[in-house]
Structure 1
Amino acid sequence: MASPWIASLLAIFVWWFSTGAILLAVRRADQIGGHSWLIVKWLPLLAFGVAAVTVSLPDASVFGAYLGFAGALAIWGWIELSFLAGVITGPVKAPCLPGLSGRDRFFRAFGTVAYHELAIVIGLWGIVAAADGAVNRMAVATYLVLFLARIFAKLNLYFGVPRINTEFVPTQLRHLKSYFRRGPATLAFPAAITALTALLAVCAERLWTAQSEAGTVGFALLTALAALALLEHWLMVVPLPDAKLWRWMLPAPKTTLPNED
């Protein structure tokens, strides 16, 4: 497990599998209801994440690197699930008003995700505070990569990109589609690409110069995660069928009548 190749492949598999599992859980909740109960049933995931991060902090071994990575992903995954289930979102739960633009559109769009953003920041603050002075800060690094990638992704969906995949937008969040802007990429896109490429380069350089097995594994995990974040952004402009990665494992979406939208 100390091989950087194994660590990288594991990171890619966990990213793919966890994304699919969350989408599957939300899709089923869309079909049978019980979105609030869904995040309660997944509380063990959050508990595991908190426990894994806590145990990993004083452990500078290869196992500690994997544990910190897994713990941060579990915490992040539960917060994302709560958002996709439509439970922790924001005070605005209606589509964008016609003709709204500028600052008014921005603040209304932010209102759709305000509570979720707060939850993400609380998660970040909790991990950073817990890791103060710790020998293993893998959980902090993992969460920060996810945090940075998500902020850039949301900004690009808001300002505009050529390709926006709305296939997996849950029923509870259909109003968010009206805040997406499909069109030519704006300055937000090259800014995101530049920042994520720099992040990937730093992680890869640290991986190349790592002096310990734990360092090698840790930076291999982070390099793979940064590469996936960069790839997700490029898929906003490159016409590739990325939805096929998960479509086959999900049940068909619940059909609705036209007047229900």
Structure 2
Amino acid sequence: MTAYIGPILFALFVWWFSTGAIIYLDGLPRPTFKWSMLGATLLLGAAFYGLWISADDTTVKGAYVAFASALVAWGWHEISFYMGYVTGPRKHACEDGCSGWAHFGHALQVSLWHELAILASFAAIVAMTWGGANEIGLWTFVILWWMHESARLNVFLGVRNLNAHFLPPHLAYLKSFLNNKPMNLLFPFSVSISTVICSVLATEAAIAVDPFRQAGFTFLATMMVLAILEHWFLVLPIPAEAMWNWSMKSRQAPPQEARRHDAHRHDHSKPHSPAPIASLRSVH
């Protein structure tokens, strides 16, 4: 049983913390973005290296390295998108009344470069792990990609919980592509497909006798469980976003700064009295 608990807890923590960390960094002042992006790019290089060296490593350590590397690689795409570096050719909201395929085309344009970058990373990971015995990193990236695309389509078609407040101000135009509905017709298919895949992965983890396969398939099954939960969070009346409320603190002015701002505003709201003549003379 301990062979499964470790990977499950590790996957849960990394999923929760990395999501919050990206939201937190994205809420910092924009001059900090270049440093966050630089750090993320260095980590991306380390992640690709980790995927490459673990391609033939069929130990439990190899499974952890491949899984973590894929998550870090995916994190680069999240940071580069939400900080506005790799988005798409369209950077403005959709006009009122726009619908149908035209609206879908506009939605695709706002993240086209982002999607192509994901495709490029996928090709790179395939090349680095091709023929290797350890494909945990590759399939982790694929699952994250599936979670991403399915969630995007569902919020575009309409779900109950959009969590639009997580969007930074410079991406506010994305709100015009989010639809608020109780559910959409794609949702049952998304959840059903994910559940079937999750069942297969969980079964593989349960019947595995090799520690590497136990850890690897547990990682993949856990990510699919999270994919299913994330989809249900979109439609159920559950305040799931509360798990990342701590990450929104970067968008709030520190108390001392807020007090200075209020004091400054208060000073400007009162008429200024002229300085005493004696004081003016003493300056000269």
Bin for the TM-score computed over the shorter chain? over 0.9
The verdict on how the C-alpha distance between 1:55 and 1:4 changes in structure 2, with shifts beyond 3 A counting, is same
Q: Which residue of 150, 154, 157 maps to 2:155?
A: 157
Alpha-carbon contact 2:89-2:112 (below 8 Å) kept: yes
Structural mapping, 1:139-218, within 5 Å: 139-218=137-216
Q: CA deviation at 1:38?
A: 2.8
1:3 is the counterpart of 2:12: no
Q: Name the structure 2 match of 1:105.
A: 103
Judge conservation of contact 1:160–1:185 (CA < 8 Å) in 2: yes
Offset, 1:42: 2.2
CA distance in 2, matches of 1:168, 1:58: 39
Task: Report the Cα distance in structure 2 between the residues aligned to 1:100 and 1:88, rounded to whole angstroms.
Answer: 25
AA aligned opposite 2:119: V
Determine the C-alpha separation between the residues in 1 that align with 2:137 and 2:212. 13
Structure 1 counterpart of 2:132: 134
Paired residues of 1:69 and 1:142 also in contact (CA < 8 A): yes
Deviation at 1:37, TM superposition (A): 4.2
Does the 8 A contact of 1:57 with 1:137 survive in 2? yes
State the Cα deviation string for residues 104-161 of structure 1 (Å, max 9, x = none).
1010110001000001111111111221110111111100110111110000011111
Distance 2:34 2:95 in 1: 27
Which is helix-richer, 1 or 2?
2
Structure-2 separation of matches of 1:117 and 1:238 = 28
> Distance between the aligned counterparts of 1:249 and 1:184, measured in 2?
27
Cα distance in 2 for partners of 1:145, 1:201 equals: 14
Which residue, out of 208, 230, 233, partners 1:232? 230
CA RMSD of aligned residues (A): 1.6
Structure showing greater Rg: 2
Per-residue deviation, 1:184 = 3.1
Cα displacement (A) at 1:26: 0.8
Give ranges in structure 2 of 5+ residues lacking alignment: 254-284
TM-score by length of 2: 0.85
Query: How many pairs were matched up?
Result: 253
2:221 corresponds to which residue? 223
One-letter amino acid matched to 2:16? W
% identical aligned pairs: 35
Return the letter of the residue paired with 2:9. L
- Partner amino acid, structure 2, of 1:3: A
The two structures have a TM-score, normalised by structure 1, of 0.93
